[in-house]
Amino acid sequence: MTSPNLSAPDAAGTADGGTLPWRNSFAELGESFFTRLQAQALPDPYWVGRNRAVARELGLQAEWLESQAALEAFTGNRLLPGSDPLASVYSGHQFGVWAGQLGDGRALLLGEIATPGGPQEIQLKGAGRTPYSRMGDGRAVLRSSIREFLCSEAMHGLGIPTTRALCVTGSDAPVRREEIETAAVVTRTAPSFIRFGHFEHFSYSGQHTELKALADYVIDRFYPDCREAPQPYAALLEAVSERTARLMAAWQAVGFCHGVMNTDNMSILGLTIDYGPFQFLDAFDPNHICNHSDTQGRYAYNRQPNMAYWNLFCLGQALLPLIGEQDLALAALEPYKTQFPEAMYARMRTKLGLADEQPEDKALVDDGFKLLAANKVDYSIFWRRLNGFTAQSGHEPVRDLFFDRESFNAWAQDYSRRLSGVDPQQRAALMQKNNPKFVLRNHLGEEAIRAAKLKDFSGVDTLLALLQSPYEEHPGHDSFAGFPPDWASSIEISCSS
């Protein structure tokens, strides 16, 4: 497979692995928060994928990212000078049940570096066992590492807050899951990897001095406006609730299912974090469960917004020793209930090409969702084809997606009436920017993974390039934007990775 051309040329960075300006402000919180340790080496590593866009943002020299030294460093075989590897401790609720102490069971935070966009932490995922691995081996496997590498960039390309991935390295070292697989390491970046579960850990263990230090750290670094509030910790909870509401709206609008929305997988910065059994919807099913391990459907697509609120409630409980009054904590959560639907309908209006808000818009969106569900219409293809909808014809390529043509015609009439007075060019431009042609469907990831197991990484490279600019046409790659094959419905993704 050939990769599409990237729109931006490679820019030379200024640093190699030996000259990165490291700091680890998280480590300054104290040893109650982490354990220092080194990564466990993997034999004969090889490159699986490199994200040169992230490398540029980190200021890394393009030549160094091609080197054996970089390969060894990002596999965990060689310590980058100035880095200070550590695994952090946290706790959490998993599938609604308090799980007690968890922590970075296979991730090592190397530290943070200054970039033009602000400090970025760099973390190795799959670098070996830590004190928080419990019964695990501390490793990640090739399939899940490729999925995280590609999906974090897919979400970034869609404009959705997310962690990023710099690279994936592989090794033929065996790793036992349901079957014997091979090992891989993802190098990922974010302003911070702090989760709701970090606060739960220190609150539930009665370490309220550490809880306050953590909250102050997050406020001072990421939410400085909260410091001026009458109750800074309640203001922090409210700010996190608002970010989480916007994140959930972004997920729902693009048809993204996370699969494991435990409190230890919720970012305090409102980022999408910890890509495991995720999925972008194919046929629209509000009740779709993407995680084969989620036998109760707790994290089904249509339940994600409520689960996010449940997790925020847990965060509020964790912060109660600092907030002091339960009523203040509950009040800080209230904005979520209005901001999520507001953000959701705002995103859906842009997908419809509507720049302003009218009273009938909510019904138009809700009726559209019901119609998609009743006809099991492919979610991404519907929205992309809708770009060419005209009030005069109803546009046959859209109508052809529905077996119930009469119901579609009724909805199309309502949509046509709403478009009266809307500038067609402005509408088309708005929809082009909000209805992606390319999303990381499960079958596309599976095809790239199958090839990668045979040491063919061209599929990873092609998908990475497409997903970095998913709204562009990318001539010659229409097959990546087509309907999923019949076998795609048999793909099962679980928590195992």
> 275-322, pLDDT tens digit by residue?
999 999 999 999 999 999 999 999 999 999 999 999 999 999 999 999
The mean pLDDT of the chain is 94
- Stated pTM of the model: 0.95
Q: Taking Cα atoms as reference points, which of 46, 177, 183, 26 lies closest to residue 104?
A: 26
CB 297 within 8 A of CB 309: no
Whether residue 131 has pLDDT greater than 90? yes
pLDDT of residue 116: 87
* The one catalytic residue among 16, 104, 264, 378: 264
Three-class SS state of 311: helix
Q: How confident is the model at residue 395 (pLDDT cuts 50, 70, 90)?
A: confident
**In DSSP terms, which residues pair with 195 in a beta bridge?**
267
Whether residue 495 has pLDDT greater than 90? no
Query: Of 168-177, 279-288, 392-401, which range is least confident?
Result: 392-401
Backbone angles phi, psi at 205, to 5 degrees: -90, 0
Quick check: is 44 catalytic?
no
pLDDT of residue 56: 94
Q: How confident is the model at residue 415 (pLDDT cuts 50, 70, 90)?
A: very high
Residue 325's contacts (CB-CB under 8 Å, 6 or more residues apart) are none
Long-range contacts of 299-303 (CB under 8 A, 24+ apart): 299/257, 299/258, 299/259, 299/260, 299/261, 300/257, 301/252, 301/255, 301/257
Q: Taking Cα atoms as reference points, which of 43, 35, 51 lies closest to residue 85?
A: 35
